[in-house]
Amino acid sequence: MADWSPATYLKFEDERTRPARDLLAQVPLTAPRRVVDMGCGPGNSTELLVARFAEAEVIGLDNSPGMLAEATQRVPGARFATADAATWLPEAGTDLVFANAIYQWVPEHLAVLPRVVAVLPEGGVLAVQMPDNMAEPTHVLMREVAASGPWAARLSDAARHPLPPVGTYYDALRPVARYIDIWHTVYNHVLAGPEAIVEWVKGTGLRPFVDPLAPAEREAFLGRYLERIAAAYPRRSDGKVLLRFPRLFIVATR
């Protein structure tokens, strides 16, 4: 895929940052030494970590040069570096690994997360949030449009896998964590209209579908997708639409 676009991602900054705030509120630490923001993106979540843990060393990690450049400018109080969430493990002295909407992109994350917790010190915390929305119309419809057009063969493997059941995460993390807090939150984001929903997913879930397409194909795909989205998300009494967005939260303490 092409590099991530900070500008596209930040069109819905408040809505995208809200889950990070909710996750951080449940982190049971007061004075961590080192805090890592895995998948820091443009730095909106890193900013929250610096504000709460002013005395900690805060490090933002991402594999997107564009996102890291944006984050470096936005949060001068943190240090940023390139890392791959699929293989990265925290250094000694890391008390918090914070991961807001990154591990859903790692196909083997169910094996990766226990490895991260296992190398944390006693009392160290892994705090993870992942979209759990593969059954929502936004994602069902992108798969249907992908399967019904001339691009079907090229996009047959574009969709990411749905998250495993909650109990699967609990069982995977329990051998390495003395306490696990795990929950779902369903957000209902008020957006301007169907076009705004398409803009939202263009910055994240839609990328594997449209990035491989030529410009004319991309336009055709997005046109079909918008028609389907408009039917699935009717305008409310004020002309706006509600984007239902379930997310999974996990806070595992070593």
Categorize the per-residue pLDDT at 10 as very low, low, confident or very high, splitting at 50, 70 and 90. low
Which CATH architecture best describes the domain 6-253?
3-Layer(aba) Sandwich (3.40)
pTM: 0.94
- pLDDT for 9 equals 56
Q: Count CB atoms within 10 A of the CB of residue 168.
A: 11
- The yes-or-no verdict on residue 8 having pLDDT over 80 is no
pLDDT digits (tens, 9 = 90+) for 185-232: 999 999 999 999 999 999 889 999 999 999 999 999 999 999 999 999
User: What residues does each domain of the chain span?
Assistant: 6-253
pLDDT digits (tens, 9 = 90+) for 87-122: 999 999 999 999 999 999 999 999 999 999 999 999
